[in-house]
Structure 1
Amino acid sequence: MQTHKRGLGRFSALLVALALAGCATAPDYRPPRPDVPAAFKEAQGGNWKVAEPAEAGHRGQWWKIFGDPVLDEMQARAEQANQDLKAAAARLAQARARLGEARADLYPGVGVGAGPTRQRPSPASRGLPADASTSASTLWRAQAAVSYEVDLFGRIASAVEAASAAAEQGEALLRSVQLALQADVAHAYFLVRELDAGQQLYEGTVALRERTLALIQRRYDEGDISELDLARARTELASARSEALDIARQRAAAEHALAILLGEVPANFSLPPRPLGRLMVSVPPGLPSALLERRPDIAAAERAMAAANARVGLAQAAFFPRLELTGALGYESAQLSDLFNWSSRTFILGPLVGTMLTLPLFDGGRRDASVAAARAAYEEEVAKYRQTVLNAFREVEDNLAHLRILREQYEAQDQAVESAARAARLSQIQYREGSVSYLDVIDADRSVLQQRRMATRLDGELARSAVNLIRALGGGWESTPAPAPTAAQTLRMEQAS
């Protein structure tokens, strides 16, 4: 009895030693530290300030800084019905389900079964002569089987860690898709409003040139001017009408694109015209170090690194033994009617087929190749992470520069519009006095139209650059990022729609 206890004690000590040794199979995860500047280059010397978290600040609904209720409604509709967002939510649900699959290996598996076995033993197994005959018999079994793999060397733990990181990556990717959708909706909305401003400008231009043509026609009828001026006036009117139709065509396409983002059929969607005005918004860029925490694509890249690192441990665990404990408890009988009698009970400890402790000795280098592939995949994810961080800083710097230069460009453009308008008024006066030709009037009017059209484009460019900067910063600039909708919430939206 004491010998038996000492044997069990030694076996238990061996299992503990193997389990402790398994802690070293998975590599420690140490995410790389990217080179982060102390401040954004393009924010220096401007009107920017370091972000100061405030309870009254926007919690993810960054588009409300534009103060446009229609845009607010567009964002809410896109959140409910956009199909790309629902697909991202479904991908997150898949990742979470795979995490559940990996975690299931941490627990014993239990199954039940019943059925007959028909067999005839050999004479040798019964100690009979070789020419002796044996009869076939049927054995009925009804039993519950239990199996459990002891995670000696972290194989299951590495698989769970990899699946958990992949699920967290899916959450970050969902937030990234959500942020991209919000930015795309704002882009499309401001483009439609910019084209509305262009249409308004050309409607005024067409009306002005219609009046001018009527004046030229009257002067031509009176014999004061030649037919050349009349032809030029008609050309300018037709050109303005053509350009107005071109803007109408662009607006229709932009409105259709916005409808798709909202998850609606373009035929059922219409946005009343409302020209875009000048938006003077201030977006504090904050500190570059906060960018690593706020950008969902950076978070997704970091979680991809963590998953790849865990898969290295999973590949390395294949070099170590696997211990699987199995057993069965139930009934067996030669007669079906006696199967559930108390005397028919039976049990077995250990595998019915195979071995309890397995260790492959030679596989032609398969495990070495798996470890090498896992390590290479990890290095790939590290490179992707570093590149994602670099791209993030570039996007922020680009949009900071755009906004800074756009503000300076506004001043120059306002002067250009004012000067062109004055030149047009002077040319009209001089033409009526006969000191200049009608060609000078046309050139002056074209210049006014061109400069005002450029001003409307700058309005749209400023709005889009502000949206791009907020997207590059990872959304709102609050202290705690707004949580993305869970997969279950988004899928419920889909079921309700």
Structure 2
Amino acid sequence: MKKLSHLLPLTAALLLAGCATALPPLPATIEAPPHFKETSPHWTIAQAAENQDRGSWWKAFKDPVLDDLAERAGANNTSIQEAAARLAQARSLVRGAQADRLPQIGVGANAARGAGANTASGATPATLLQAGVDLSYEVDLFGRLARAQDAAALDAQSREALLQSTRLLVQAEVAQTYLALRAADSERALVQDTATAYADTLRLTQRRFDAGDVAELDVIRIQTELAATEAEVFALSRQRAELEHALAVLVGEPVSGFSLAAESPGHVLPVIPAGVPSTVLARRPDVAAAQASLLAAQARVGLAQAAWFPSVSLTAAAGYASPDLSDLFKWSARAWGIGALVSAPLFDGGRREAGVQGAQAQLDAAAASYRSQVLSAFREVEDQLSALRLLQDQSQAQGRAVGAALRASAISETRYRNGLVSQLELLDARRNELLHRRQAARVDAAQHQATVLLIRALGGGWDAAASAEGKRS
């Protein structure tokens, strides 16, 4: 009975109101609308599925060069590597929080020499050798350690989503930059063709001037148009070089060793299913990261509230102690002890209350950030849906303008060669033709850019999107 009486304080501590603190309620979030405001017969509704495979969405453009660049960026981009390292760091903190909930065991040895009342030989100097094992364990009666582990796990989940968000962002930037480079190639080819036509006209005009059929002013006009058009070619070449350099950085390679040959655009404009808002919330990694951060902040409020409750720790030690090394591990030299510690601060000057208030403020901030992320997600999708709808109409109208400009240019060319119109009319027709053809190329480039931005806004692509027919409706 005497031995049992020593365990009564420990038993009382273990039975002390052992329930974990309840989590605070989450602040109000945003209710998803039933559908997007922008609707079009060209867009279909995708079934919401949180585990849909985002896949290699860039393959929907059916461009092998883009496929290669996206794969290289996924392996070598420094932003992705940095996000992966931060995820590894967050996961190590989870393992640390898990370790805090497990018994802590250590071994130790000690050798001391001294004299005094505490030594076996009194005032005579003596040596005391010790070796043993220590064990400690904190009983998580009120959920403090559990809340810390939950918060760390949610932080790791947020980092994992941020890694996916970074990967999607880099992939989208690669696609946008590459498509802009090919658009520059296409526009430069148009301008170069016009410069070639001006050079042909200049040769014809020069012959006519030599024969005395036209004035020198006609030659000077053509020379001016040719020089101005060649300057546009150089400007587009400079723009292309900058885009090529940006691609090199995105794929993690030195600019000096990276180059892409000029080619005519060989990609197609894919049709991507838009998806309902709930799909956006389930698929967008940045929204998932904000949600995980919100839940982590909620767990930390519970962690701060747990500081008001007592902490209970169990300790045990066992080993040997002897003044002689040869006798250290003899059974007669054994020593052991167990204990329990219950501690609770009585007055801390308001530190714990400040901790709870700070954690609540972080929860409110995380909730506001989450709401902002959701609102931005809806806005980005609506922006690109409206952009694609209006760009489709603009492309059709611009196509009609290009057709009319080509017809006018051909008629003016024939009439000029037959001496029926002045050179000014021919030059004006060619300027209009180049203007409308370049504008049509820019509208086409804008459609591709808007498609990439829509894929990014929706959180990635679908296998169905990659297999859809890549044709303009």
The equivalent position to 2:409 in structure 1, one of 417, 424, 442, is: 424
Instruction: Assess if the C-alpha contact under 8 Å between 1:26 and 1:312 holds in 2.
Output: no
Bigger shift: residues 337-346 or 176-185: 337-346
8 A Cα contact 2:321 2:333, kept in partner? yes
User: What corresponds to 1:37 in structure 2?
Assistant: 33
Is this contact kept in 1: 2:142–2:309, CA < 8 A? yes
1:445 matched residue in structure 2: 430
- Residue 319 of structure 1 aligns to a residue whose secondary structure is coil
Give yes or no for contact 2:287–2:370 (8 Å, CA) kept in 1.
yes
How does the TM-score come out when normalised to structure 2? 0.92
Which residue number corresponds to residue 12 of structure 1? 11
**Residue 373 (structure 2) aligns with:** 388
* Secondary structure of residue in 1 paired with 2:274: coil
Distance 2:291 2:4 in 1: 49
| Letter of the 1:458 counterpart | V
Change (3 A) 1:314 1:118: farther
Contact residue 312 and residue 343 of structure 2 kept, 8 A: yes
Q: Tell me which moved more, 111-120 or 229-238.
A: 111-120
Matches within 5 A, 1:35-184: 35-42=31-38, 44-52=39-47, 59-122=54-117, 134-184=123-173
Question: How far apart are the structure 1 equivalents of 2:256 and 2:337?
Answer: 69
What CA distance in whole angstroms lies between the structure 1 residues aligned with 2:292 and 2:421? 71
The Cα offsets for residues 343-395 of structure 1, whole Å up to 9 and x where unpaired, read as 111112238xxxx1111111111111111111000100000000000000000
Instruction: Say whether 1:335 aligns with 2:317.
Output: no
TM-score norm. by structure 1 comes to: 0.87
Partner residue of 1:467 out of 448, 452, 456: 452
Q: Does 1:325 align with 2:314?
A: yes
Gaps of 5+ in 1: 127-132, 480-497
Q: Distance in 2 between matches of 1:440 and 1:478?
A: 52
> What is the CA–CA distance in structure 2 between the aligned matches of 1:14 and 1:111, rounded to whole Å?
24
TM-superposition CA deviations, 1:95-142 (whole Å, max 9, x none): 1001000000111111111112344445xx89xxxxxx8344332111
Q: Partner residue of 1:225?
A: 214
1:264 deviation in Å?
Answer: 1.1
Question: Following the alignment from structure 1 to structure 2, what is the Cα–Cα distance between the partners of residues 341 and 7?
Answer: 28
- What is the aligned partner in structure 2 of residue 264 from structure 1? 253
| Deviation, structure 1 residue 263 | 1.2
Q: Using the aligned pairs only, state the percent identity.
A: 47
Aligned to 1:360: 345
Give the partner amino acid of 2:304: A
* Shift, 1:11, TM fit: 5.1
The C-alpha deviation readout for 1:419-441, integer Å capped at 9, x for no partner, is 11222223333434545432222
**Amino acid across the alignment from 1:309:** Q
Return the alpha-carbon distance in structure 2 between the equivalents of residues 231 and 26 of structure 1: 85
Conserved 8 A contact 1:113-1:142: yes
| 1:5–1:345 Cα change, 3 Å | closer
Q: Please tell me whether the aligned partners of residues 191 and 229 of structure 2 are also in contact (alpha carbons under 8 angstroms).
A: yes
1:487 — aligned with what? none
Question: Does structure 2 retain, via aligned residues, the 8 Å contact 1:99–1:160?
Answer: yes
One-letter identity of the residue aligned with 1:106 = R
Q: How many residues align?
A: 460
User: Which of 396, 402, 408 pairs up with 2:393?
Assistant: 408
Contact 2:40 2:389 in 1 (8 A): no
Q: 1:304 aligns with which of 293, 297, 300?
A: 293
The answer on whether the counterparts of 1:154 and 1:317 sit within 8 Å (CA) in structure 2 is yes
Counterpart CA distance in 1 for 2:82 and 2:36 is: 35
Deviation of residue 337 (structure 1)?
2.9
Give the 3-state SS of the residue equivalent to 2:142 in structure 1: coil
Structure 2 residue 335 is matched with structure 1 residue 346 = yes
**What is the aligned counterpart of 2:270 among 281, 300, 308?**
281
Once the two structures are overlaid, the 10-residue window that deviates more, 65-74 or 183-192, is: 65-74
CA contact (8 A) 2:128 2:322 kept: yes
Separation of aligned partners in 1, 2:318 and 2:381: 65
Give the Cα separation in 2 of the matches to 1:363 and 1:58: 52
| Amino acid in the other structure paired with 1:455 | A
Cα distance in structure 1, aligned partners of 2:335 and 2:454: 71
Letter matched to residue 40 of structure 1? F
Give the aligned residue type for 2:380: E
Aligned to 1:490: none
Amino acid in structure 1 at the alignment position of 2:459: G
Contact 1:172 1:297 in 2 (8 A): yes
Letter in structure 1 aligned against 2:150: E
Residue number among 199, 202, 205 corresponding to 2:188 in the alignment: 199
